[in-house]
Structure formats: structure tokens, C-alpha cells
Structure 1
Amino acid sequence: MENQSPDWSSLSLDLLNRVSKKLDHSFDYLHFRSVCSNWHSAAPPLKFPPLLFLPFDPTTETIPFFDPSDGGVHSFPLPAEARNKTFCGTSHGWLILLDEPTNCISLLNPLTSTSVPLPPFTHHLPKPSTKRVILRIDRCLANPRCIRPGVPWQNRPFIQEAVLSSPPATSGDPCIVMAILQNGEELAFCRPGDGAWTLVETNGVYNIDSVAYWNGSFYAVDRIGRIAVCELNATPAGVARVSLVPEPLVPDQFKLLESKGELLLVGIDTEDDDNPDYEMKTFVYKADMGEGRLTWTKVDTMGEKTLFLSEDSNSGFVGHELRGCRRNCMYISKSSDHEEAVHFIRLRNIGDSSSSELISCRWSSNPSGAVFWLKPGFF
């Protein structure tokens, strides 16, 4: 009698469900649900936290990441389309990549290897601007940590960060990609299929710290707390200042985070945060567009939610009842400035300034590598 391969799709749903509950990592869960429709239906979607992708060599075949749900470092196959590319940001589970030799930009889903081309950056991009922006391709691989305040803008990557309005779709309205340019004084946007990027006049909103898409518009905050909405349909495209941060203390960094219809503004004071005894100062505000006017309400607790932020990039996420993560907390990623030091995460309770601790990622803080949070987009 000939040996026959087992029919894995015929396993009972109850057995498959029990097996799926033993899977602790998001990628394992993804692979389990991808076997067939029977396995997919037996494993309901779970709420896994985003993964912190750690510094790596872009010529290698794998990328390391830290999983906050188990505190371990794992690896994931790096798609061929992402090798030898500069990482310019992550949004909605997609990577924004720059190919230096051709100056071409693309979106890449690292799980499916689906790639979406975007218009290339050219030397003509800065010309319509009222601000002086110099494009130098040989700086695109500059230390991503140079985005921090106080570092000369000449050493920063030309594309400081990029954010999507929504995941790229095969039909319907295309997503919009908004990029913070080299010195943080400029914004540019495009849609897949456009022939070129469009520069956004910043009208005095300088040194932009963070951008987020909320309520049908992109919002930007600069390093002194000025908040503006991007008017992309205007001619020329520009920004209009709508409010100021309602906090007398201006922190080192601002972060804008959108989550399920809410816009959060987070302030982080990073001074001396290599010291585990340092009491990091943070605050969180929630936006409200009542009667057509943007106002902010201070948030003292996030309940069952968890915030994931990085000092090294603008990537950030808000999760609710995430598997293996503390609630009402911030996970703040940071590369140490000390030689041969390891990357770490500061875990801080929201609303409790006395509670803060460091979690080692057990991975070198390679100054030449990108560090960013990625929420896999597969559920």
C-alpha cells in the first residue's frame, strides 16, 4: 500500500482551535491561519502587539525584531524587494523604502512581499519651496537617530519619515503618502500612480516632529508644539495652524498617534533617559473637533490600551487589550548613545510618574540601522 500524505485540512475545528491558542507569536499565528480555510476559521483573530524591528544589515536575508509579548528577539525573512534599501518609515503594516541608486520610492508589505511603486524623488522637488532644502543622495543612509533634536539637519536622511492615510488598495480611492523631508521643515505627498510628489508649503511650521492621518486630514506638530492641518486640495498645497499644545513644558519630542478614530498627542522628555533611575516626563492629550474647532483634553489613564513609541522614529501605535502586554502603559523604544550598548525599551505607566523601568532588547544599538515599530497587517 502506498504511503499517503496526511490530509491536514481535515483536522477537527476543536483540535485546531486548541492548537492555535498555544501559539504565542504573531508570525506563527499568521502561518497557522494561512494553511487553508479550515485552519483559518478555527483560529479567530487575536490582538498581538506591534513588533520592534531592530538594527540590521540591509544586505542580509533576515531582519531581527523584539516581541514585547514574550520579551524575546526573533528573526523574520527579509523580502528580496527590501534588501539594499533605505527604510524611510512604516505605516499600516507597510514599509516605505528608498532605492538610493535610482532614487525610487516604493511601499512593501513585508509579509506578502507585495510592492507598490511611488514617484521617485528628484532634484526638482525642493525648487517650488520657499524654504531651502538640499537633496544629497549620499546622506540617505545617515544615522536614523540624527532625527533627534539638536542634531544638524545636514546629517539627517532626506526622507525623515513617511505616513500612509490607509493601506494601499487594489480598488477604490488610493492611499495618500505623506513624507517629512530632510530638515523637518518640509512635507511632500503623493498617491500611488502619481507622476510626481507635491510639495506642501509649511507656512512657518518648522522642524516637524510627527504627522498623523485623522478625520480625513493629515495633521502635523512641530518641536515647539504648533499643530497644523495639511490642506492638500489647496493651490498650492499648504498647512493651516489650528492650535497649540496646551502644556507649558515643551518636551524633547512630540508624537501624533491615530487609533480607531482618536488622535492622541504624546510628549516625551528624553533627558538622561539612559539612567534607569531617571523619571521620564510624559503627557498624553486627546483631540476633539467640537464645533469645527480643535481642542485638547489631558488624558490621565488609557484604561486597557497600550502605547508603543520610539525616540528614533515617528512610528507608533495604540493597542487595546494586547496579548502579553501591560495595559495603561507606554513602551518607548530607545537606542543607547553608549558604545557597544544594547537597545532597550522604557516601560512607563501612564499617569504614574514614579513608575518606570527599562527592558533590554539584548541587541546592539547599531548606530547605522533603522529601528521602528511595525504592526503586521495580516488580520
Structure 2
Amino acid sequence: MAKPPNPKRRSLPLPDWRSGLPEDLLESIGQRLASGHDTTSFRSACSPWRAAIPFATFGPLLLLPFDPDSDCVGFYCVPEKKVLSKTLPDLRGKVACGSSCGWLALIDEAASVTLLNPFAGARTPRVELPPAGEHIAAASSSERVSRVHDWWVLHPTNGYGDADAAGRAIKLEDRRDVFFCEIVLSASPDAAGRECVAMAMLGCSTEVAFCRVGVDSAWTLLDTKLEFSVGSIVHCQDKFLAIDCTGEISVCSSNAGGATPTAALLPSLSPPAGLCHRSYLESNGELHIVGAMMSTFHETRSFTYSSAIYKCNLHARMPEWSRARDIGDQTLFMSKHFNESFSGTSVSKYKENKIYMSEPLYGDPYDLVHRLKIVDIATGASEVKTVQKKMQGSEALGWIRPNLWKL
């Protein structure tokens, strides 16, 4: 016969494991969590548990192409070697035009822009940015663009410079080429006590557009003074850097705090000779450049490409590029589709002194799978890993680090 339950045992209070565990034990447990889902649950328990796993330890995910007619998007997790699918209704009818500070920048048919945090829980935070106006289209496209009711129309010119009066409707997938090619943030929009400025690289222009998130009702254009079209935007040392296809750099300050926007060229800083397919990013307050160096073998009439990384301290009296072969415990994440890349310190389950490329610099355009390239900075050796089949025949969009909590 079973014993009756002990009433005294039922009345005993449950122990409060949140405040009773020592800090070193919490950190030890946090390092053994197997997945991002477990980590999220662990951090949500209380402040001591959240502090045991700093935000910087979260590794980024690779954002895969998504169908604008769907509300499902895939993120590839490198350590777990699997695709994590999320349902985000706010994605429907939009295309991505940036990934920055853990937020996605999205643009829709009406050229309205939304910032979306896809990793912040059931109620996905979103922030509306000013919509693109005709002044943005005029600065971004060599063709005339106008708005007819709720449609944007492109009026291509003929060989005599005359514009087609009727024009054609601009498709959703062409929004990045006509309006915002990429949007980069100075900080997370929900960062406590910090003003967030968004700067946009336009389709084909020497101008950039910027706005103060939650403050400005329209985008402001700024002439970078570059000779060629802006190809990259990097936020470094509280400044935006606009970089053209030749490697010339313009230091741009927006109207943060109500200041007058300015742009000034950074003289005497040409990219390293022979470095092509360049991508720029900030790491430890320095500007880094990642590219490919070509080696030619005359005997066999062949050539190969190897990855190389250089860094520059912009605060130096005479800034110059120097070859980097050891970046310590840093891990660099470079995007081929979105130029905005970033670094991480001691990122959990990612290798140090490596570059994780969203796609190989020289990949087969007809390849039917996404491939990730990992480069050893010390030796220059690299390995290519298969991610999954391409859903839409396009390359991975870029990296995004989960931003689950206010910074």
C-alpha cells in the first residue's frame, strides 16, 4: 500500500536558485548550454543569470534569402550546423536592405522603411524610418523616377536623352537599386541613452542619405565629395565612413545631436596594391579591409586567389594600411551581399583569429548551394563548407547577431 503524502514536505518552500548560485558556477553552466534557445531561457531567468552570459558571447547567424510573399525566413547557425526558421509576419511584402546592430532594415512597395529586430521574442520590436522620397530616387538612379498614386515608376531614357513618359512600375526586388542599397546604424535603436542614426548607401551615387531614428521625418542627403559612387559604409569611432570603388574614403558626420552634417575626404590612404574584391569593417576601433590577392604562375599560365586582411588606425597622424596576421581573440564576420560586416571578441563556439565569409569571394554564380568560407588569418589557409541548397538562386544576405536585450 502506498504511503500517504507528507503534508510537511508539501509545505516546504522551493529554493530560489536564481540568487543562491555563485557567479563562477553560473558562468560554468552558461558555457555548457547547447543551443541559442537554451541560452535565451537561461538569460531570461534574472539579472545575475543574464550577466553570466554577456551579450558579446552570442555568435551571429547567417541570414538566408527569403521570399517576400512569405513570412518565414531562415538563419544558418554555424556551430549547430543547421538552419533555424522563424516566422515573422512583418517580412511579408518587403525586401532586406541592411543588417546592422542586430536589426534588419526592410523596404516595401511604397518605399517605406522598417527596422525589425527578429530575435527579441514574441512581440517583435519594429521601428519605422522615414519613407524614401523622390529626392532619394533622383540621387540614387540615373533614370527619372516619379510616384504615381501608390506606385513608383521608372522613366528610362532613350539614346537621345528623352524620358519615356509612361514609364514602368518598379518591382519590389529592384527597390534596393532605385532607393536604398544598404542602411547602416550607428547604434541599436533601443540602446539606452544613445541616439541612433541611420545612414543609407544609395544605388549609384556619390551622395548618402541619413536620418535620426525616431526624430527626423525625412531623409537628408549629404555629398560625400567622393569622385566615384559609394560602395561601402562603415560606422567606426563614432563616425560614418563612405568608401568608393577605388578605396577613397570620406569621413561623414550626420546631424547627430542637431549638429550640421559634414563630409571630408581622408587623403593619402589608398588601399593596398593588388587587393581586390574588398570589404570593410570596424574592429577594436580600427578600420579593417578584407580582400583577395592574386598570385600568378607564369610556368603554368595559371593564377590563384588568397584572402588578405589589413588594418588602419584612423586617429594616427599619418594613417596607413598594415597587414594583419594575428587579431588575437577576435573573429571577423564578412558579408558579400551586405557590405556592413563586424567583429566579435571570444564569440562562443566560433574560432578565433578567423574570418567567416558569408559566401566565397570567387564563387560559382550557378552553384545551387550556399557555401560558407572560413579563412585562417595567420596562415591564409581557408576551408569552404556547404550550408544548404539555395532557395531562390541568390547568395546569402549577410550576418546578423541576435540582439535580444537592450544594450
TM over 0.5: yes
Is 1:13 paired with 2:21? Answer: yes
Q: Is the 8 A contact 2:233 2:340 kept in 1?
A: no
How far apart in 1 are the matches of 2:322 and 2:254? 27
From 344, 358, 370, the counterpart of 2:371? 344
- Structure 2, unaligned stretches of length 5 or more? 146-153, 155-168, 296-302
Instruction: Within 5 Å, give how 1:281-300 maps onto structure 2.
Output: 281-291=307-317, 293-300=318-325
Question: What is the match of residue 133 of structure 2?
Answer: 122
Deviations 1:134-157 (A, max 9, x none): 55572441498xxxxxxxxxxx36
Q: Is the 8 A contact 2:292 2:305 kept in 1?
A: no
Is 1:74 paired with 2:83? Answer: yes
What letter is aligned with 1:371?
A: L
Is 1:108 paired with 2:119? Answer: no
Deviations 1:93-124 (A, max 9, x none): 11111122x32112111122111111100113
Deviations 1:64-103 (A, max 9, x none): 1222223x12224233223321111111111111122x32
Pair member with larger Rg: 2
Normalising by structure 2, what TM-score?
0.75
Instruction: Within 5 Å, give how 1:82-101 maps onto structure 2.
Output: 82-100=91-109
What secondary structure, in the 3-state scheme, does the structure 2 residue paired with 1:180 have?
Answer: strand
Question: What is the match of residue 222 of structure 2?
Answer: 200
Normalising by structure 1, what TM-score?
0.80
Against the structure 1 CA distance between its residues 190 and 370, is the aligned structure 2 distance closer, same or farther, given a 3 Å change threshold? Answer: farther
How far apart in 2 are the matches of 1:225 and 1:206? 10
Question: What is the match of residue 319 of structure 1?
Answer: 344
Is 1:280 paired with 2:291? Answer: no
Deviations 1:253-283 (A, max 9, x none): x222123423222234699xxxxx9543423
Q: Is the 8 A contact 1:262 1:286 kept in 2?
A: yes
CA drift at 1:328: 1.4
Question: What is the match of residue 257 of structure 1?
Answer: 281
How far apart in 2 are the matches of 1:344 and 1:130? 31
Against the structure 1 CA distance between its residues 368 and 349, is the aligned structure 2 distance closer, same or farther, given a 3 Å change threshold? Answer: closer
The alignment yields a C-alpha RMSD, in angstroms, of 3.5
Is 1:372 paired with 2:398? Answer: yes
How far apart in 1 are the matches of 2:14 and 2:91? 35
CA drift at 1:286: 2.4
Against the structure 1 CA distance between its residues 340 and 301, is the aligned structure 2 distance closer, same or farther, given a 3 Å change threshold? Answer: closer
- Structure 1, unaligned stretches of length 5 or more? 145-155, 272-276
Q: Is the 8 A contact 2:281 2:287 kept in 1?
A: yes
Q: Is the 8 A contact 1:50 1:317 kept in 2?
A: no
From 182, 186, 200, the counterpart of 1:165? 186
Deviations 1:312-355 (A, max 9, x none): 221312122222222211111227544461111111111423x1
Deviations 1:176-203 (A, max 9, x none): 1011011253311111221211111132
Question: What is the match of residue 333 of structure 1?
Answer: 358
Question: What is the match of residue 210 of structure 2?
Answer: 189
Against the structure 1 CA distance between its residues 44 and 177, is the aligned structure 2 distance closer, same or farther, given a 3 Å change threshold? Answer: closer
How far apart in 1 are the matches of 2:27 and 2:370? 36
